[in-house]
Amino acid sequence: MDARDVIKVGMSAERTLVVPPERAVGHFASYMPMVYATPMMILEMEMASADAVTPLLEPGWVTVGTEVDIKHIAATPVGATVRTTARVIAVERRVIRFEVEAFDERRRIGEGRHARCLVNVERFMSGLAAGSRK
């Protein structure tokens, strides 16, 4: 499958999340404050990016994250609502590049770029299985 056949620059998706305690950095490290953890924000950015393109993929194909270049620019407390957006900015044969942003009720809290690679699940999994037997 060639992503250029179905994915177009400008395609986008948005996700909304009320930050639960288990997504706070203090949940993972008890000495840290209970604010939205950077890896959890990046997870939402990756999921929004996947949401933007997955409905157009042929059966048996998915995208997997391969690059992140993200700034977490403001803290967000547990219980706040976060809106995450992803927009396609470039499409190569197997790589789709996104501009991603996250906002809480007051301001932008994160921004950056993300790339996802188009893979055939069956081939991907058989490659992993072959590698684990070595």
Question: What CA–CA distance (Å, rounded) separates 83 from 14?
Answer: 7
Q: In a 10 Å sphere around its CB, with 0-12 CB exposed, 13-18 middle and 19+ buried, how is residue 34 labelled?
A: middle
C-alpha 20/C-alpha 66 separation (Å) is: 26
Active site amino acids = 38, 46, 72
Rounded CA gap, 129 and 19, in Å? 36
Count the residues in the chain: 134
Strands 61-72 and 95-103: unpaired
